[in-house]
């Protein structure tokens, strides 16, 4: 089993996954709501859109924009059960347990925090 750090390094090597970044609107939304609220949203999205054993629109359930967690899901290959299986060997057609859901949330939040660090470093360069 890989660590979050190892997963993030592997994702950075993917041209597609590494192309996702938070936009200014997303950064402002995170700053306005706070990380705890964003983490609650991530938990809700994972529970509702990824955890069920059968997902009617699997592969299309995560929008490409509209919420920072959606961007994080695509950047981390946690956007659908197919990607979870391909990248992390998570079996399809079996409901995700609480531990698996929390691992996904931690990965999403780690990616978001990394993206937000760029914000801080950009400000310090001015």
Cβ atoms 18, 118 nearer than 8 A? no
Q: Average model confidence (pLDDT) for the chain?
A: 91
Backbone angles phi, psi at 36, to 5 degrees: -65, -40
State both tokens at 66.
């509209």
pTM of the model: 0.89
Is 86 or 117 the better-scoring residue by pLDDT? 86
- Return the percent helix, strand and coil in the chain, to nearest 5: 65, 0, 35
pLDDT score for 36: 97
pLDDT band at 28 (very low <50, low <70, confident <90, very high): very high
């Amino acid at each position: 089993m890989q660590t979050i750090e190892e997963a993030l390094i592997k994702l950075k090597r993917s041209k597609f996954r590494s192309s996702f970044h938070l936009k200014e609107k997303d950064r402002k939304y995170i700053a306005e709501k706070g990380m705890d609220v964003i983490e609650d949203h991530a938990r809700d999205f994972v529970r509702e859109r990824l955890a069920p054993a059968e997902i009617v629109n699997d592969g299309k359930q995560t929008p490409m924009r509209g919420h920072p967690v959606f961007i994080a899901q695509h950047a981390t290959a946690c956007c659908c059960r197919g990607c979870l299986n391909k990248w992390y060997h998570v079996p399809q057609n079996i409901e995700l347990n609480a531990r698996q859901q929390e691992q996904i949330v931690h990965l999403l939040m780690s990616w978001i925090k990394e993206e937000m660090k760029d914000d801080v470093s950009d400000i310090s360069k001015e």
